Amino acid sequence: MTIADIRVLRIRPAMLVAIIISTALYGISNITAAHGAAPLNGSFTINPQFILAGGNDSFTATASGGLSPYKFNWTFGDSPLVANGSFTTHIFSVAGSYTVTLNITDSTPILPMKTTITNTVTVHGSPLNINGWSVNWNITAFHGVEIYNSSYNGVLTIRDALINGVSVVYFQQPPGLSCLFFDDLGRDDLGGSIAGFTVQNSTDPSNPWFQIRANFNPSLVGYNYTQFWRFYKSGEWDATLYVGHIGCGWNHYYQPHYRIDLAAGNKNRHVMSQYTPSGMWQNLIWEGNYTDNGFRDTAHNATQSPSGVWRNLIWEGNYTDNGFRDTAHNATQWRLGDGTGYYYMVPRVNPYAGDMPKIASKIYLVRDRPGELEPDVNPPATPPDPINFVNGELAYRQSIAFWYLPTFGDHWLYSAGQTAIGYPSIVSLSFYPSGI
């Protein structure tokens, strides 16, 4: 057979068809087809790597080979929901193992190439059992991530801990303007934070810890909060909040309202103390068995009055940070315990705006009443304060709780569209166990 002509034609992308034309037959004697592009491949990554139930996790796909552009289709194994696009997010509501499936299709006409990638992901729930800790946690509707009924080496440590809200107000009200609200740490704000809810671990093997990280209000304007509950292998733990002020070009002050109920030995012997300038621990609240010390107030019918002044024997609330620290116990300001074991507590406030006035942190000591939360009124008429609603009962040698109120001023970090010029302010309360 004489070949009169050989032509190579590209009749569709990614396909080469060799057509051999015979001059004798004027027909097609043979057709050979082969893909000219590389095979279609794909993969995907997940952020964060440690997935907690309720977090808004992100999935990013990549593809190569075949003919672009590519189509991406996702399923997540916990529902019939389908997502599209090379980047998507998904919330796993319940802990468990799920098969995430990514289908990729290229743009080859007529016979497009397809590939499927699957990966099994583990979604962690409550409790977290790490380094001797068993930490129960819960995403609340308005009060951030709550820690409750948590133990260390089998011993109950934390009955309940949460942030009720953050009081925000202009530090100095500009003429004709006002800003006052009680910001919550809402479930919706957590859901709007992509990859913002996870567990992180120490990179220092000499000081192992893990922490629950929860980011709220990840907006271009407004206020950005990141909550941390950190737990050390030694039994120490921290309650920390990052506050980022963005968008509003006025100075503000912030006051997070922590409510914490510790299990420190025998709850019927609980007492809280503050370190004093004299280098002694002074009980903040006491009651019962006050002996006659022989002193009398003659102006009031010779009633008893120690040192010639009247001193309240029982009180609660508003114990400010006096600046004195017990260097023998991690530079501690407050402690709570039962006389045998204590949690020594260190307050820290690191505002971004160090030039603004310093405001002492406060602790309000209360008789524990589970579920006692500050009314969520927004906007409030005046800056909210738990002292206005707490139960007012005796709290010495009984199961007690306390409110921690760090207060600080801060400048705005940046305006929308401009480069950030600072870092978030950080407040924390660290707990060091001794004899527990």
What pLDDT shows up at residue 14? 40
Whether residue 421 is predicted with pLDDT greater than 60 in this model: the reply is no
- Give the mean pLDDT of 392-396: 74
Per-residue pLDDT band for 420 (boundaries 50, 70, 90) equals low
Structure token digits, residue 429: 């309360």
Tokens 């310093």 appear where?
A: 358
Whether residue 20 is predicted with pLDDT greater than 70 in this model: the reply is no
What pLDDT shows up at residue 5? 42
Which of the residue ranges 25-34, 93-102, 106-115, 125-134 would you say has the lowest mean pLDDT? 25-34
What pLDDT shows up at residue 423? 76
What pLDDT shows up at residue 297? 59
Rounded Cα distance between 135 and 231, Å, is: 9
Whether residue 371 is predicted with pLDDT greater than 60 in this model: the reply is yes
Whether residue 415 is predicted with pLDDT greater than 80 in this model: the reply is no
What pLDDT shows up at residue 419? 55
**What is 301-345 written as a DSSP string?**
TTB--GGGS---SS--S-EE--S--BGGGTSBSEEEE-SS-EEEE
- Give the mean pLDDT of 208-215: 97
Q: Which run of H or E residues covers position 197? A: strand 197-201
Rounded Cα distance between 334 and 342, Å, is: 10
Please enumerate in sequence order all residues whose Cβ is within 8 A of that of 422, keeping only pairs 6 or more positions apart, or say none.
Answer: 352, 411, 413, 414
What pLDDT shows up at residue 16? 36
